[in-house]
Amino acid sequence: MILTTGGAGFIGSNFVLDWLAGAGEPVLNLDRLTYAGNLENLASLRGDARHVFVQGDIGDAALVARLLAEHRPRAVVNFAAESHVDRSIHDPEDFIQTNIVGTFRLLEAVRAYWSGLPAPERAAFRFLHVSTDEVYGSLGKEDPAFSESNRYEPNSPYSASKAASDHLVRAWHHTYGLPVLTTNCSNNYGPYHFPEKLIPLCIHNALAGKPLPIYGDGQQRRDWLYVGDHCAAIRRVLEAGRPGEVYNVGGWNEMANLEVVTTLCAMLDAMRPRADGRSYREQIGFVADRPGHDRRYAIDAGKLERELGWKPQETFESGIRKTVRWYLDHQDWVNNVTSGAYRDWVGKHYGD
């Protein structure tokens, strides 16, 4: 068995579904079920004995210790995190508590469990920490993409809290010998993405006839990684990664936000045309940029390909087509997550 934390969120739930469809090895899934944690993501696993769900917090050391002792996982994959930059700007404390204090308590519980394992199990054990490219800061227009040797220069409360958690994971390896692995990924997209992030928000707003809000001039550049490719990368790092190492995971798809949204509009024009025959591009609108908005991220995922043989299978065009198709086919899921609280949040950040 493996233990996942945050396994009801966007990336975590995709990983759990992917893992059980492939390896079939049971998963103990610990998730606090905050606003972005959604058991409906895992509805297909109801009644599946291989999936054991526990609602709880990685910061609850007693709970984590009990689960480790009871289920004896051979690995922990830590997805649990507060992850939205905008939310971190308005309410940073949650990010400090979950991403820093929570990671510390999780590491301590795992260290105690790992230390008590028989030698062969202790040698085979792994703790994989899922992080972000945002810890590296912002790139200039001509700068090379982030590699694993880039220094940390986080610019938001979110990225600073993730950088701190990365440092804790590294320190627990070098100080205590805990066999850790860290992955730093670029912007994910795909099924089950809570509609506060750019791609699902714009799909949702487009279909609802609402404006598609673009920060600033829309020229902020990101590398886009299909979530299924990310899951495959995590599986590979867990299988063959070297303890103590960091692996950057990217899609080799660097694009400006405005280009992403216009591509989405073209997909929707073809797959779900507006009743009036006009393009969804007409709904694009620009809003005031957020404070400290990083201009460019780009990931060099060459180490992961050279050392472990992983590379993404989806282009942005193929991945975004799958994503749009999924949202069109799962409007019930979208309707269920877009509660009144969600609408209040969107109004607060993007205006009426």
CA-CA distance, 251 to 266, in Å (whole number)? 21
> Would you please indicate which residues are annotated as catalytic (active-site) residues?
133-134, 158
Find the helix packing angle between 103-115 and 157-176, rounded to 10°: 20
CA-CA distance, 226 to 250, in Å (whole number)? 9
CA-CA distance, 151 to 88, in Å (whole number)? 22
Q: Where are the beta strands (DSSP E) in 136-264?
A: 180-185, 187-189, 212-215, 221-226, 246-249, 254-256
Q: Where are the beta strands (DSSP E) in the chain?
A: 2-5, 27-31, 51-55, 75-78, 126-132, 180-185, 187-189, 212-215, 221-226, 246-249, 254-256, 284-287
How many residues in the chain?
352
As beta bridge partners, residue 286 has 214
Strands 254-256 and 221-226: antiparallel
Helix (H) or strand (E) holding 175: helix 157-176
